[in-house]
Amino acid sequence: MDHKKHKEHKNHSKHIQEFRTKFFVSLILTVPILALSQTIQAWLNFTLDVPFQKEIVFLFSLLIYVYGGSPFLRGIFQEIKKRQPGMMTLIGTAISVAFFF
């Protein structure tokens, strides 16, 4: 029984580390999105003109959605397959609606 608990704890720690890594990578990728956002530029009263600015913002947003959201997006399919929607479905749906909006 102790071996099983140790294995579950080790697996849980791996998930925590995965979420932490994805969070910080996504946080770093958010900085250029905010800097290139016309709304943020208007609020802070500055301008950055970069060629293909909208495309760059879209690509960085797509990276964050796919990379940072992958645990939740995978979770949607697992929960729906089991016919037991839960927190992964809720978060996956929320990030999908926000991204596609």
Residues 6+ apart with CB under 8 A from 101: none
The predicted model scores a pTM of 0.80
- Tens of pLDDT along the chain (101 residues) come to 455 555 555 667 888 999 999 999 999 999 999 999 999 999 999 999 999 999 999 999 999 999 999 999 999 999 999 999 999 999 999 999 999 99
Close Cβ partners of 76 (under 8 Å, ≥ 6 residues apart)? 88, 89, 92, 93
Question: How many domains, the chain?
Answer: 1
Angle at 51 between CA 47 and CA 53, to 5 degrees: 65
Show the domain range for 87.
2-100
The pLDDT of residue 15 is 85
Residue that has been written with the tokens 């749906």 in this structure:
93
